[in-house]
Amino acid sequence: MIALDQVSFWYHQQPEPVLADVTLSVGEGELVLLAGRTGAGKSTLLGTINGLVPHFTGGHLEGTVSVDGVTTRSRPPREFAHLVGMVGQDPLAGFVTDTVEEELAYGMEQLGLSPQVMRRRVEETLDLLGIAELRRRPLRALSGGQQQRVAIGSVLTMHPKVLVLDEPTSALDPTAAEDVLATLARLVQDLGTTVVMAEHRMERVIPFADRMIYVPGDGSVVDGTPAEVLAHTPIAPPIVMLGRLAGWEPLAMSVRDARRRAEPLRTRLRADVTRTPARNAAAPLLTSSGVVVRYGPTVAVRGVDLDLDGGRVLAMMGRNGSGKSSLLWALQGSGPRQGGIVRVDGADPKELSSAKARTLVGLVPQTASDLLYLETVADECAAADRESDADAGTCRALLDRLAPGIDPRKHPRDLSEGQRLALVLAVQLSAAPRVMLLDEPTRGLDYTAKAALARIVTTLTGEGRAVVVATHDVEFVATVADRVVVMAEGEIVSDGPTVEVLGGSPAFAPQVAKILGPDWLTVADVEAALRQAVR
């Protein structure tokens, strides 16, 4: 269905090719997972399939890419609309119209299909994706998972033979992500659509994937079944890490598979469930009670009490729109707060000037790049020093500790997602707040960047700071958090040590817990326990 023949690609004025001599072919009805580090060329590879690369992005492409026998060389991307459906990372940015039904019909209108066919296909697609009750809703009022499903639907109505998705679940909460993936699996099973998707959090996709293409970043690709490819890749989901640790051959790809194989491992581990007791904390750094945030008639946070201890990481989870961000902004003092008490160091950050408040509580917002506005990293650091009355070089020193070796002359936009996050974090830390709040820091980070972030978070707590991480990423929470709070409808519905909250929940359990039981959250835990047992 898709054939890449000796494809090489360069962006203008860059000596290194993004893709070098790639030859691939994807058959009909296959679900192919594309993995690799950020910036390794996944999106570029996806873009070549319908010709957006190079027709839209510019650059130089050698070799031929053909879909269903038609090469992208001869025709612009719009002539591929009926063959290739393209769904991006942020569905909202790709919407042309403003209600669900019109969005589903948009592509067909461009193809010039007859009204009866359009009407029928819209109805079928609404049912196929389970969004019939949303048909007349404005797109902006939908939740993230619903938007993503509408985005998929809007290309499905054109009956494409190939569906290309670029990180379709990266912004979604675990349940919404499952919904979207289940939809995709159904398309592959029932309609025989060929699906090519890039995904950072591959643990969820691997069970469905027939094939996996790993992009190491040097222009080449590694192609094979997930089990073959994952045996050697530096980035791998926990289930694979566990398999490698236990020496399973071949690797288990689904939780069901792994559970069956893990019997001996479980018995070995059962002997020593001796966990380090939670550290005793001193007086909390931040106390809050009865926090209320509302926007007009909608209540975002409904009387939440929350204390943050120094040296501990609190993970905040819950579906999109459950009030996590609103709560963080209210705790920082910059966001609205209609009721309740927040005390940091005896003061209410809301009543202080924003310059003073940030020396008490720092916040890295969801779109971290909103904070950056200068042309170079060095300028940003200098501005941060001025803003927080810190000694010159403070911010740069912090940045070097968080992410060493960033070129000071670089434009902040050109940094990788992880580096940019580190820069914003350094900017915020230069004011030396004792409490640091991170809103969705793991968005768009690959496994390596996430491991780096975990190290940063551990450093911060090592210095006695209190850290809050709002995230959907269960595996990340399992790695860093001491305590987990789950929010729903503006209230805290569960609050406790990570093991208790994550291990016992079907929706939030990390893969290792699903395989080995609720006492084990991460591969590192298992590894440490095994090493102890040997000793």
Partner 1 sequence: MLSTYFLPRDLHPAAWWVWALGLAVAASRTTNPWLLLTILAVASFVVVARRTDAPWALAFRIYLYLGSVIVCFRVFFRFVFGGAEGSTIILRLPEIPLPEWAAGIRLFGDVSAESLLGGLYDGLRLATMVICLGAANALANPKRLLKAMPPALYEVGTAVIVALSVFPQLAESVLRVGRARKLRGGTSGKRFHALHAIIIPVLEDALDRSLRLAASMDARGYGRAGKVAARVRLVTGLLMIVGLIGVCVGVYATLDGSTPRFLAAPVLVAGLVIALIGFRFAGKRVQRTRYRPDRWHLAELVVAASGVAVSVVLFATSSVDPTNLNPSLIDLSWPLLSWVPLCGVLIGLAPASLSPPPEPPFDHEPIRLAEKVPA
Calpha distance 340→380 (Å, rounded): 35
Say whether the peptide bond before residue 54 is cis (omega within 30 degrees of 0).
yes
The yes or no reply on residue 80 touching partner 1 (CB under 8 A) is: yes
The yes or no reply on residue 278 touching partner 1 (CB under 8 A) is: no
The interface with partner 1 within residues 357-396 (CB under 8 A) comprises 358, 362-363, 365, 367, 369-373, 384, 386-388
Q: Which among 241, 173, 164, 251 has a CA at the least distance from the CA of 207? A: 251
CB atoms under 10 Å from CB of 116, counted, come to 8
DSSP 8-state class, residue 166: E
The yes or no reply on residue 130 touching partner 1 (CB under 8 A) is: no
Sheet of strand 339-344, all strands in order from the earlier edge strand to the far edge: 298-308, 286-295, 339-344
Q: At its nearest, how many Å lie between partner 1 and the CB of residue 52?
A: 6
The yes or no reply on residue 52 touching partner 1 (CB under 8 A) is: yes
**Contacts of residue 93, Cβ cutoff 8 Å, sequence gap at least 6:** none
Closer residue to partner 1 (CB): 97 or 287: 97
Backbone angles phi, psi at 420, to 5 degrees: -65, -40
Instruction: Write the CA distances from 109 to 92, 155, 180, 205, 217, integer angstroms.
Output: 20, 12, 25, 32, 39
Name the residue type at position 98: D
Closer residue to partner 1 (CB): 430 or 479: 430
Instruction: Write the CA distances from 521 to 97, 134, 302, integer angstroms.
Output: 44, 37, 31
Closer residue to partner 1 (CB): 236 or 425: 425
The yes or no reply on residue 39 touching partner 1 (CB under 8 A) is: no
Total residues at the site for partner 1 (CB under 8 A)? Answer: 76
The yes or no reply on residue 122 touching partner 1 (CB under 8 A) is: yes
The interface with partner 1 within residues 314-343 (CB under 8 A) comprises 321, 329, 332, 334-335
Q: At its nearest, how many Å lie between partner 1 and the CB of residue 263?
A: 47
Q: Which of 29, 88, 207, 224 is the binder for partner 1 (CB under 8 A)?
A: 88
Applying CB under 8 A, the span of 117-125, 178-186, 189-197, 278-286 interacting with partner 1 comes to: 117-125
Closer residue to partner 1 (CB): 120 or 260: 120
Backbone angles phi, psi at 304, to 5 degrees: -100, 135
Q: From residue 236 to residue 275, what is the string marking binding to partner 1 with x (rule CB under 8 A)?
A: ----------------------------------------
Closer residue to partner 1 (CB): 242 or 344: 344
Contact, 66 vs 3, CB < 8 A? yes
The yes or no reply on residue 492 touching partner 1 (CB under 8 A) is: no
The yes or no reply on residue 137 touching partner 1 (CB under 8 A) is: yes
Calpha distance 289→273 (Å, rounded): 36
Q: Which of 280, 298, 405, 462 is the binder for partner 1 (CB under 8 A)?
A: 298
Applying CB under 8 A, the span of 88-96, 230-238, 441-449, 503-511 interacting with partner 1 comes to: 88-96
> Which secondary-structure segment (H or E) carries 533?
helix 523-534
Applying CB under 8 A, the span of 95-103, 171-179, 342-350, 456-464 interacting with partner 1 comes to: 95-103
Q: From residue 405 to residue 434, what is the string marking binding to partner 1 with x (rule CB under 8 A)?
A: --------x-------------xx--x---
Calpha distance 243→475 (Å, rounded): 16
- Tell the residue number behind the tokens 């960033």, with chain if given: 406
Name the residue type at position 346: G
